Chains A and B, each alone.
Chain A
Amino acid sequence: MKKIIALLTLLGFVSISLAEEAGTEGLDYGDYASVTLQVKAWEALGEGEYANAVKFTEKCAELYEEEARKMQASLSAKPSTDVVNEYWALNDVGTCYFIRGEALVKLRKKSEALAAFKVVRDDLYYSQAWDPKGWYWSPSDAAYPKIEMLEAQQKTDF
């Protein structure tokens, strides 16, 4: 009897582990391009699929953060709009960190959200995001008040 229980327990662990793995790997990352991952992260955020939004951003960072940091290091000012697309990795990874922060706030993981926003503000501060309404915005500028807000929430009971 004890052996059966142990076996069932083991099977239980295996199935949970497989399910978690499927949750991670079951996502459709499309062509794995940085822009695809960024768009999918936005979509997941808008659909309330916050855990998936985080996963898309993680994948984007895993594949492109090194390149993004190189691009950031090569700059001494925010690129003008005529050359902004040349910094595709910086833009997509910076935006993904911003989305990651937003999603983690929704998941009530505020310390992790704060860390994500700080990457945008402190490390990838020349990234820019395209708004379909017709302009670029700065994830770093947008992250700055989020950081202030999360830090205020840590200190104060709102």
Chain B
Amino acid sequence: MNRTTNRIKNRITTGCVIALLLGSCGSSAPGDQYVTPGSRVQVVKQSDGTFTLLRNGEPYLVKGAGTGSGQGLGGGNLQLLAASGGNSVRTWGIEQLEQVVGGKPFLDRAHELGISVTAGFWVQHVRHGFDYSDSERIEAQRTRLRNAVLKYRDHPALLAWGLGNEMEGFGPGETDVRIWQELNHLAGVIKDLDPHHPVMTVIAGDSPSKIAGILKHYPNIDILGINAYSGAPVVGQNLLGLGWNRPYMLTEFGVAGTWEVPATPWDAPIEPDPSTKAAETYTAYTMNRDNNVGRSFGSYVFFWGHKQEATATWYGMFLPSGEKRARVDAMAYAWSGEWPENRAPKLKSLETPIAFKKVKPGSNSYAEVDCIDREGDALSYLWEVRAESSDRKIGGDAEAAPPSFPGAISEGQGTPRIALKAPSLPGGYRVFVTVYDGQGGAAVHNLPFFVEN
């Protein structure tokens, strides 16, 4: 037991005695519900102009993942993050901290596993109807923030406040300076109530107008969070070019975005294969880590769960049923330098002659997958034909999953090769294959095709 542990024990005891005297030990009153001491996190500028993130006095590099409610987050997934060498998670909305994970409140479970949390506070978006000239709504948002800070500021798992996510909009002209000014005010509210945790605000990409707006109107920011996909590996370099030489984190990264890849003539983005996705994720992580020491405080890979966005398989690192995919293994390798004992199956190829093609309704074809398991586990196969998503959104807004057409798998379900019968309704489709190793790992891929009369 070291001196720090003793100090913590002493503080717990003292804190509990005081709390008992006040009749609040173990109560859920905001601000004093945690009997362990809160974390102390600082951004320190070094004499050479670089920055260090100190957590409880120790340098801290975030090896994190974004995770969310109801999207494959389970106690097992948090546990797997810790076992894979990850040390932090990022949430989007404060209500996520109320989730019960592994039988415990989210923050408690994270703390138990040695995982820190960047607690996201959802700053409302203009594109969702928020109006920055509506003083009542602005005040209501400020009140919600105050309550959240008072409630969670003393939790030992807390690493930083994630003040807003992509609330600034996406295109030229969509950036309203009032957004930066209000964020500056909100960051000031946090700092007044909780001087022990830095404030990070997350924006979409590293566009010059956004960086200029933050530099001019948002001096209270401690850490800039950037969500970037294809451009993720070079975010640090881009930020320097735009005059941002302060700390930042890569707050969403992984595979190329659906808007950044080639698309079919019917506008179906072509999803990269699992190995490419894993390599892309690994490369973005290592390039950000290695090329930006002293400015990047680390990263949060997207997305430690599952999510329908263009397809059911694009960004999620798990299946809805909980199996991990190759990107989880790639991050374990990136974080710890070791591959896990059991790796997800390796999908070598998925082929069908109708990929990217237009075919007649009811026409016959086939699809075939070549997949191996490095540990020799027996593989099982699930094929699906789904309609192309007709509910595409921007900014990660919730999308409905498109319908499945089981009748399109005319033979061979459960095997590496199927006979396919094109659906009768014209439109875009994808043939998906999921390969399970029976040991908690899976590989998924899909190819688009189009049915036309």
Chain A residues with a Cβ under 8 A of chain B: 42-43, 45-49, 102, 105, 134, 141-142, 144-145, 148-149, 152-153, 156-158
Contacts and interface: CB of A to CB of B under 8 A. Distances in A.
B269 to A, nearest CB: 9
Contact of A141 (B172, B231, B357): B231
B430 to A, nearest CB: 13
Contacts of B333: 156
B270 interface: yes
Given A134-B171, A149-B280, A46 B231 contact: no
B233 A148 contact: yes
B124 to A, nearest CB: 25
B233 A102 contact: no
B326 interface: yes
Contacts of A152: 279, 282-283, 286
A15 B128 CA distance: 62
A47 B234 contact: no
A106 to B, nearest CB: 9
A158 B278 contact: yes
Contacts of A49: 356
Size category of the B interface is 20 to 34
7 tightest Cβ-Cβ pairs between the two chains A and B = A48-B356, A145-B233, A158-B278, A149-B283, A46-B262, A158-B279, A158-B275
B137 to A, nearest CB: 31
Given A102-B262, A148-B287, A158-B275, A141 B330 contact: no
B230 A142 contact: yes
A51 to B, nearest CB: 13
A156 B262 contact: no
Contacts of A145: 230, 232-234, 280, 283-284, 287
Nearest to A53: B262
B284 A47 contact: no
Residue picked from A43, A45, A153, A158, most chain B C-beta under 10 Å: A158
Contacts, number: 62
A48 B171 CA distance: 29
A90 B234 CA distance: 22
A94 B172 CA distance: 26
Contacts of B284: 145
Nearest to B284: A145
B365 interface: no
B355 interface: yes
A141 B283 contact: no
B262 A45 contact: yes
Nearest to B339: A157
B141 to A, nearest CB: 31
B265 interface: yes
Given A102-B262, A158-B282, A48 B234 contact: no
Nearest to A151: B283
B239 to A, nearest CB: 13
Contacts of B278: 158
Nearest to A134: B172
A31 B232 CA distance: 37
B334 to A, nearest CB: 10
Given A144-B233, A148-B283, A149-B280, A47 B264 contact: yes
